Structure 1
Amino acid sequence: MTVDSDPSLVPVSVVTGDPSAVLPEGPVVTLPDPLLPLIPPPSLSPLITPSVASLNDDVVYAGNTVEERNDLLIELIEIQASLSLESNPWLLRGDFNEITHPEEHSSPAASQISCPMIEFNTCLNQLEVCDLRYHGEKFTWSNKQPDIPIAKKLDRALINEHWLNTYPRSLAKFLAPEFSDHTPCCIELDCPTPLAGSKPFKFFNYLTLHPDFLTLVEEAWTCTENENHSLSLLSVKQKELKRVLKQLNKDNFSDIQKRVLEANSLFTDAHVLSLRQPTSDHFATEKELHEKLLFLKKVEEEYYKQLSRINWLKCGDSNTSYFHKVAKARKAFNAIIILISTTGIEATSPQDIGNLAVAHFLSILGPPTPQTTPVMIDSVAGMIRTNRFSCSPEQAQVSLGCLPLKT
């Protein structure tokens, strides 16, 4: 379906897997906000004009049986192919009546991956969609039976890569259920991301590939040498090393994607020139540019591996679109924009988010100063009075005591 910038015109397609199915009363409700216009995405999508913003929004209501859900999955694949949704922003949301992993089931007995889960995940991979980042409760449905309480994540908002490119700051909010056993889902197209200030230093593994890496590290570490071996000296060394590594990354690997494209263009031109004029100089230039291109591609591969945190990818997967999709999806999904305290208060600013995180871990790790008891104090005082656990002042006795420890 197409959504125009006028919020009063919001047609929605409801996919059930059965064209003749009659939906029960009130299973799916789609309500646009009449007070807020649809925010044009910040990217330069070909679908965006100065007055109209377009997107595809399908609402799913899956059946209770495996057969009905399989029909739904087949229909979703057909809809994607017929409407060319793989090349347009696509939002797929609703009740899928299936989970993707046992962790999305509240019962400890549901610890095995079932065949319906595998089929559901296979369909999502074929559609190339993933969960839109969200906040709210983990489970979206409950059976409301006190005797056998069960909760699952049956409702989800799925997006494709083009949606993520067009609406990078979109967010799904799963709110508290009122009259339904499902949680309502609110989609925000432009959720502001809090400014976190300067980014912390991150060591990229590809820096070790640079031929001057070890030399620069050694020089940065030894240039601050002195006789003081305190922790302050260690801090000075680390700061100097961080400065050197940041400069190394900036001078040689910044905007690595652009560097790879430029190196590939230079290599292509050199290759054509060497075929047109096969001289020693042209062959040498082509070889040099080819080695540089391979090196930069290796750096780009290491960058995306570390960014997407997928360490099991083989070399055959390097520099493919899969790297970009996984890295982009993880970065968007893992962004922290809201934290909710135990009292239900939302923290949205970087300062409030930081304070809430610190308070949470303080409650886990305990108070800053450990509690002492009179028994503990008396025990330590007794050890001090009797000189227990104190070393002998004689060096010979210390040496004799250490000799049996040698192997």
Structure 2
Amino acid sequence: MTVIFWNVRGFNHPKKQKNVMDRVEKLQVEILCLFETRIRENKAQDVIAQIWILWKKNLQFSVLKVADQSITIQGNLGGRNVYISAVYGSNSGAIRKELWNQLYEVNDLVGSNIWIVEGDFNVTAEALESSSFEDGHLSSYMEDLQNCMTNLRLVDHPFFEPVFTWSNKHGVGFLARKLDRVLVNDHWCEGFSNSHVEFQAPGVSDHSLAVTWYSHESLASRPKPFKYFNFWALHPDFKEVVGKSWVEVVQGDPMQALFCKMKRLKVEFRAFNKRCYSNISGKVAEKREQLERKQIMTLTGGNPGDLAEERQIYFELMDLEKAERLFYQQKEKVDWLLDGDQCTKFFHSQVAVKRKRNTIRVLIDERGNKLDTFDSMADELVNYFTRQIGTVNGNVQGCFDLFLRDLLGYALPANAKVDLVKVVTSDEIRVAI
């Protein structure tokens, strides 16, 4: 599914009409939003001339709300209930304030559903989003946009290509700004984790074309690097798992033995995590249902042993909820997370937003080629760092010990080599830690 938003001034011009249709066909667009079309009135009798939203007949969408600076449609996208708002903000900051009120009204209708807001806001959110950036001053109109995004919990969808989406195309007094943006709520990040946004070349317009794929090609499934989670240590079997693995004899010098034991322990930890904490949120929900069933049995006159079982299940649930909170806290790096925040949608939404922000879906190599598959990006990264640190530079020559000594103006005393190879004692380790 592909959705594009494009500010195309003067859609009457045949050249612009052809260019738009060529782009639509090439990108296989299913939902098209055009802004500032300036169609003559006799050619646009039943539409708002500044904002057009068109979708294919096979899609189940309907118009939810129409206003002078925004149109919102509602429908099914990928089997999910989705709200799409096309925005064209006024050039007047005073009139544009009404746009924020319109979005607040739409937010009340959206509720806890998936929402995406795209279009030309005609204002930047940060001072750095303008080529005329100087002192970092925020205007009141920029603060209006920031406040709207914060209050509605909308975030910029990570995007590919230029930061600036509009330019005045003047040779003298050139100015470029990010006036177009794609905003999503946390439900979008959870529901469409593989979505992708790209701002493409403006073509016949002065605004970049915004393309949104709700499900872009996902990266190939690869083994995940090992990560130690702190909550493992809270499990009563943790020390036993570590102890059984650690006492097994390993041949080699102490450093080699330590490396082999740590490597072997990773395998044990993976199995331990899969056995005890795999799908931690699911285990919490399952344990909570088990507790509720046991509570009903106790209250309906069960046998005397039900109360003890209920208490045991309750403590097991508390342990799982604590492990879940620590899991998301460490994964999301949210140090301010409180105990009362555990097991809430806020947990999952924060992780989903961060995962989307940190996912790299496109790379550009030194020849300007776009790489968007896992293998091509992996090869490029290996080649890049090989060129940086993995090749021999013939211009770099070695140096003698005496040269380094003269350069540093210092040399270790002769008896220092004894301390450098001396065995580290347990007391020294304890003092250092």
Is residue 80 of structure 2 the alignment partner of residue 58 of structure 1? no
Aligned to 1:78: 105
Q: Return the alpha-carbon distance in structure 2 between the equivalents of residues 55 and 268 of structure 1.
A: 34
Aligned to 1:109: 134
Which ranges of structure 2 fall in alignment gaps of 5 or more residues? 4-27, 37-48, 61-73, 421-433
What's the offset of the Cα at 1:161? 4.2
Q: Return the alpha-carbon distance in structure 1 between the equivalents of residues 346 and 380 of structure 2.
A: 35
Give me the CA root mean square deviation: 4.2
Is residue 157 of structure 2 the alignment partner of residue 132 of structure 1? yes
Aligned residues of 1:196 and 1:350 also touching (Cα < 8 A): no
What's the offset of the Cα at 1:151? 3.8
Question: Where is the strand percentage greater, Structure 1 or Structure 2?
Answer: 2
Aligned to 2:203: 178
SS of residue paired to 2:98: helix
Aligned to 2:312: 288
Identity among equivalent pairs (%): 26
Q: Return the alpha-carbon distance in structure 1 between the equivalents of residues 156 and 288 of structure 2.
A: 34
Per-residue CA deviation, residues 22-72 of structure 1 (Å, 9 max, x unaligned), is xxxx987778799xx879xxxxxx96599x987433221112333233211
Q: Return the alpha-carbon distance in structure 2 between the equivalents of residues 172 and 282 of structure 1.
A: 54
Q: Return the alpha-carbon distance in structure 2 between the equivalents of residues 255 and 395 of structure 1.
A: 52
How many aligned residue pairs are there? 367
Aligned to 2:179: 154
Aligned residues of 1:142 and 1:182 also touching (Cα < 8 A): yes
Aligned to 1:122: 147
Aligned residues of 1:10 and 1:32 also touching (Cα < 8 A): yes
Q: Which amino acid aligns with 1:315?
A: D
SS of residue paired to 2:204: coil
Which ranges of structure 1 fall in alignment gaps of 5 or more residues? 16-25, 40-45, 399-407
Aligned 1:254-293 pairs, distance under 5 A:
254-277=278-301, 281-293=305-317
- Does the C-alpha gap of structure 1 residues 379 and 245 become closer, same or farther in structure 2, counting only changes over 3 Å? closer
- Does the C-alpha gap of structure 1 residues 97 and 270 become closer, same or farther in structure 2, counting only changes over 3 Å? same
Aligned match of 2:378 in 354, 360, 374? 354
Aligned to 2:11: none
Aligned match of 1:334 in 344, 355, 358? 358
Q: Return the alpha-carbon distance in structure 2 between the equivalents of residues 373 and 112 of structure 1.
A: 47
TM-score normalized by the length of structure 2? 0.70
Q: Return the alpha-carbon distance in structure 2 between the equivalents of residues 362 and 149 of structure 1.
A: 39
Aligned to 2:227: 202
Bigger mean CA offset, 126-135 vs 104-113: 104-113
What's the offset of the Cα at 1:354? 1.5
Per-residue CA deviation, residues 148-168 of structure 1 (Å, 9 max, x unaligned), is 555433211122344445544
What's the offset of the Cα at 1:12? 5.2
Q: Return the alpha-carbon distance in structure 2 between the equivalents of residues 12 and 395 of structure 1.
A: 73
Aligned residues of 1:221 and 1:237 also touching (Cα < 8 A): yes
Q: Return the alpha-carbon distance in structure 2 between the equivalents of residues 394 and 348 of structure 1.
A: 54
Aligned to 1:43: none
SS of residue paired to 1:63: coil
What's the offset of the Cα at 1:240? 0.8
What's the offset of the Cα at 1:371? 5.8
- Does the C-alpha gap of structure 1 residues 80 and 227 become closer, same or farther in structure 2, counting only changes over 3 Å? closer
What's the offset of the Cα at 1:315? 2.3
SS of residue paired to 1:377: coil
